[in-house]
Amino acid sequence: MIELNLDWRYATKEFDSAQKLNDQQVHQLVECIRLAPTSYGMQPIHVKVISQQSMKENLREVSFGQSQISDCSHLFVFCIQQNTSEVHVDEYMDRLAKTRKLATEALSGYGGMIKGFLSQQSSAVKDVWAARQAYLCLGFLLHTCALLKIDACPIEGFVPESYDHMLGLTAQGLSSVVVAAVGFRSAEDVTQHQAKVRKSTAEMFDFI
Ligand SMILES: Cc1cc2nc3c(=O)[nH]c(=O)nc-3n(C[C@H](O)[C@H](O)[C@H](O)COP(=O)(O)O)c2cc1C
């Protein structure tokens, strides 16, 4: 049976700032996000991967001082592409046609269906839809980290407007939604020894 390391992983509170991810590890984590499924395959998201120490320290100041932000090896900032619209669908159809060697015309039905869906949503609803895709990618990242015995902490405790400003996201039509600090736990982090608190299977599931 494959070891999933679900008890080993925890939301790391203290990272060992001396330990860094190597290039292969970064590549594997980037790939797990890139290959994650999204609604229609649209991938209405973008990810900033930050290892620059000065930037991590600046971001910590707008993350309620959480030490994970500056002490982790790499900070993954999940952003949504704001107000997904027809131009994004056209870009996707081009990518699809090139990758699968299809005529763009053959995809007009699929593209039209996605455009139809988007046209019925307000910009705010589309941004929530995009954020759901970002969280799904976050889930893929967290579990891939566990499989690779890399530590991570998902983080919502930050000021998105400040991240948007400091990372120049607004100018790129992006906005930050959730963050993951990734690296290696400190031996001093007492949280790693705490028992998991979860609903029981009976409380959480019905098998019908
Ligand atoms: C979306 C999300 C946001 C979170 N934000 C923070 C955060 O800002 N700071 C923090 O220390 N932990 C944060 N956590 C960690 C949770 O508190 C933690 O995952 C939960 O208590 C379960 O513990 P475990 O992950 O160690 O099993 C967040 C978790 C998720 C999924």
Annotated domain spans of the chain: 23-84+125-186
Of 14, 138, 153, best ligand 1 pocket probe by most atoms within 8 Å of the beta carbon: 153
* Structure-block tokens of residue 165: 């400003």
Q: Whose CA is nearest to atom 17 of ligand 1?
A: 11
Q: Whose CA is nearest to atom 10 of ligand 1?
A: 155
* Structure-block tokens of residue 205: 């599931």
Q: What's the 81 CA to ligand 1 centre distance in angstroms?
A: 24
Q: Report the topology of domain 23-84+125-186.
A: NADH Oxidase (3.40.109)
Q: Whose CA is nearest to atom 4 of ligand 1?
A: 155
Residues 6+ apart with CB under 8 A from 45: 38, 78, 79, 80, 81, 130, 133, 134, 137
Of 155, 178, 179, best ligand 1 pocket probe by most atoms within 8 Å of the beta carbon: 155
Residues 6+ apart with CB under 8 A from 10: 191, 192, 194, 196
Q: What's the 46 CA to ligand 1 centre distance in angstroms?
A: 21
What is residue 104's predicted lDDT score, i.e. its pLDDT?
A: 87
Q: What's the 12 CA to ligand 1 centre distance in angstroms?
A: 9
pTM value is: 0.98
| 197 exposure class (CB count in 10 Å sphere: 0-12, 13-18, 19+) | exposed
Q: Which residues of the chain have pLDDT under 50?
A: none
CA distance 154 to 142: 8
CA distance 55 to 70: 8
CA distance 82 to 193: 40
